[in-house]
Homo-oligomer: A and B are copies of this chain.
Amino acid sequence: MEFEEKTLKRRKIFKGHIFEVAVDEVELPNHLGRAERELIFHRGAVAILAVTPDDKLIIVKQYRKAIEKISYEIPAGKLEIGENGSEYDAALRELEEETGYSGDLEQIHEFYTAIGFCNEKIKLYLATNLKKVPQPRPQDEDEVLELFELTYEECLDLIQSGKIEDAKTIIALQYFALHFKGGK
């Protein structure tokens, strides 16, 4: 059985600052004919599970236009141009910009967020030994953020109440439960 779909033609639809959109006409494997694939191309992103010395988790409150709601998430940010391949540095930068902390980073997961139509890949880091940066790099101008340091149980309450509904944050919280809470 063959799996690969060969690109016959690509129609470019949109080139934005965050993503590009294309529609590919593909040749299906196993003589199944042709099909169209609607695709989003994204530069990738980093996210940080930041754990304070007293085992609290840093959570960012912000407005998300795509869902027209306020959302609670772990710190994260898109890779900037030229940062491809230096996700570690991007994660350090985002942690400092969004939280004012620096720390020791270790990659714990990487995953495609919406693999059916989008190539956005997130590298998720664990940050420990957090230290306040005296003069942190400023936040992005068009972001309004509020920071919280929450216990794991408080984060579970935010899932229960529908305030945490973000895949990368759920992955991070499960990781914390598995590795810091002995699977509780």
* Chain A residues within CB distance 8 Å of chain B: 1-5, 13-14, 16-19, 21, 23-24, 26, 28-30, 32-33, 35-42, 45, 61-67, 70-71, 73, 76, 78, 109-122, 141-142, 144, 146, 165-168, 170-171, 174-175, 177-178, 181-184
Q: Which residues of B contact A184 (CB under 8 A)?
A: 183
The 10 closest A-B pairs by CB, nearest first: A183-B183, A174-B174, A35-B142, A3-B63, A37-B65, A16-B38, A111-B167, A113-B114, A18-B38, A66-B119
Q: With A and B bound together, what is the CA distance between A117 and B64 in angstroms?
A: 8
B26 touches A65 (CB 8 A): yes
Alpha-carbon distance A51/B18, docked complex (angstroms): 38
